[in-house]
Amino acid sequence: MEAQAINPHFPTTLNSKNRNFMAKITCFPQSPTWVSCKSHNLSFVPEFGTSLKKDLSLRSSCVVKAKVGSDGGEELGEGVSRKNLAVFVSGGGSNFRSIHEAILDGRINGDIVVLVAKCGGANYARNKGIPVIVFPKTKSGSEGLSPHDLVSALRKFKVDNVLLAGFLKLIPAELIRAYPKSILNIHPSLLPSFGGKGYYGMKVHRAVIASGVRYSGPTIHFVDEHYDTGRILAQRVVPVLVTDTAEELAARVLQEEHQVYVEVAAALCEERIIWREDGVPLIRSKDDPDKFS
Ligand code: GAR
C-alpha cells in the first residue's frame, strides 16, 4: 500500500494499484458487499472498472455506492486488492496463529504468503502450507538470510506488508527502506512507556507491575529503525490488578493483542489506514467512513 499524507476530512484514495481511483475518488469498504466511492466530479464515474460500473447507484450528489462481486478477493471491489502479508515471529507465534485463523474465517482481505522465523511458529506454518524462511543468520552462519537476501525473498513472494508478531530482533534499515510505511509491530505495553531495547515479552510486564501503573495494554505501531519508536496506530487498555503476576498480566494483554492485531490487519488489507497531515496514522471505521480512531 502506498500511503499518502491526507486530511481525514477531505479523504483521498490510498489505492495506488488502480489508476481509475487515483486522487479523484475515495473508496472505502462498508461491508463485505458494498463499497462507497466519493468523487469530487462525477464525470469520473465512467472510469470505474466494469464490475463496479454495472451496479453504480447514487447515494447523494457526490457519493456513489457500488455493489461488488462475491468471488473472494474481489469482494472489496476493484479498488482494493487482496494483500500479501509476511509475518515475522521469534517465539510462540500466538499472534501469527490468530491472524492466520482470521484470514481463514474471511475477516482479513489478505494472505500470509511467508513466515519469517527464528524457530517459533514454524511448525504451525509448515502444517498449513505457509513457506518459512529463517532470518537473521544463525550464529554458525549455516542457516538464515542476510538483510539483502531477506528483502529479495520478500519481493519474490510479492509481499505488500510485513507484520511483526513477537519478532524480537531489530529490523534492518534495508528492509525499512524497501517497505516504507508498510511494516507493523505489536508491543505488549502502552507505548511510549515500557518500550525500547531490552523491553520485550515478560520483561515488559514485570516493569509495568513494578512501576505501579494501573493500566497497560498492547500497542501496534509502524516500524522505524529503532525499537518501539515508530508511529502509533492502535492501542487497547487492560487493567493492571493489584494481585497480578507478570504471567497473569501477560495473558490478559495477549488476549487483547489477538483481537487488536486482527482488527488492524483487516484495516490494513482494506486500505483503511490513512495518514493525518502531521504524520499520525489513523484507521478509518468500517461502519462509518467519516470516523477515525
Ligand atoms: C507478544 O506479547 C508481543 O506483544 C511481544 O511478544 C509476544 C509474542 O507472543 N512482543 C514484544 O515484546 C516486542 N517488543 P506470540 O509469539 O505468542 O505472538
Residues 157-194 have pLDDT tens digits of: 999 999 999 999 999 999 999 999 999 999 999 999 99
* H or E element, residue 88: strand 83-89
Pick the CATH number of 83-283 from 3.40.50.170, 3.40.50.620, 3.30.9.10, 3.40.50.1450: 3.40.50.170
The C-alpha atoms of residue 118 and residue 107 are separated, in whole angstroms, by 27
Distance 47 CA to ligand 1 centre (A): 45
Contact of 99 with 139, CB cutoff 8 Å: no
**Is the model more confident about 13 or about 58?**
13
Whether 165 lines ligand 1, by a CB cut-off of 6 Å, is: yes
Q: Which long-range contacts (CB under 8 A, 24 or more apart) does 231-234 make?
A: 231/279, 231/280, 231/281, 232/191, 232/280, 232/281, 233/184, 233/264, 233/273, 233/281, 233/283, 234/260, 234/263, 234/264, 234/283, 234/293
Residue identifier of the C-alpha nearest atom 6 of ligand 1: 166
- The mean-pLDDT minimum among 53-67, 84-98, 271-285 falls in 53-67
Distance 201 CA to ligand 1 centre (A): 6
Question: Is a pLDDT exceeding 50 seen at residue 140?
Answer: yes
pLDDT above 70 as % of the chain:
72
- The mean-pLDDT minimum among 45-54, 121-130, 221-230, 243-252 falls in 45-54
The C-alpha atoms of residue 179 and residue 230 are separated, in whole angstroms, by 14
pLDDT band at 122 (very low <50, low <70, confident <90, very high): confident
Find all residues with CB under 8 Å of 268, minimum gap 6, and list them: 1, 83, 110, 161, 184
Question: Is a pLDDT exceeding 60 seen at residue 25?
Answer: no
Contact of 208 with 194, CB cutoff 8 Å: yes
**Is the model more confident about 15 or about 174?**
174
Task: Specify the ligand 1 atom closest to the Cα of 94.
Answer: 17
CATH 3.40.50.170-classified regions of the chain:
83-283
Whether 275 lines ligand 1, by a CB cut-off of 6 Å, is: no
Whole-number pLDDT of residue 141? 76
**CA quadruple 132, 98, 196, 279: dihedral sign:** positive
- The mean-pLDDT minimum among 91-105, 120-134, 183-197, 207-221 falls in 120-134
| Active-site position among 9, 40, 100, 187 | 187
The C-alpha atoms of residue 109 and residue 85 are separated, in whole angstroms, by 10
Mean per-residue pLDDT for 86-115? 96
Question: Is a pLDDT exceeding 60 seen at residue 221?
Answer: yes
Whole-number pLDDT of residue 76? 64
- The mean-pLDDT minimum among 19-23, 30-34, 129-133 falls in 19-23
Q: Decide the pairing of beta strands 215-216 and 238-239.
A: antiparallel
This prediction has a pTM of: 0.77
Whole-number pLDDT of residue 156? 98
User: Comparing C-alpha atoms, which of 150, 1, 137, 181 is closest to residue 81?
Assistant: 1
Whole-number pLDDT of residue 79? 82
Task: Specify the ligand 1 atom closest to the Cα of 188.
Answer: 4
Whether 217 lines ligand 1, by a CB cut-off of 6 Å, is: no
Whole-number pLDDT of residue 217? 98
Mean per-residue pLDDT for 145-154? 96
Contact of 114 with 126, CB cutoff 8 Å: no
Contact of 21 with 14, CB cutoff 8 Å: no
Whether 167 lines ligand 1, by a CB cut-off of 6 Å, is: no
Task: Specify the ligand 1 atom closest to the Cα of 204.
Answer: 12
Distance 146 CA to ligand 1 centre (A): 23
Distance 266 CA to ligand 1 centre (A): 19
**Is the model more confident about 181 or about 139?**
181
Question: Is a pLDDT exceeding 60 seen at residue 60?
Answer: no
- 8 cis-preceded (ω within 30 degrees of 0): no
Q: Kindly report the backbone phi and psi dihedral angles of residue 59, in degrees, each rounded to the nearest multiple of 5, phi listed first.
A: -105, -35
Mean per-residue pLDDT for 96-110? 98
40 is catalytic: no
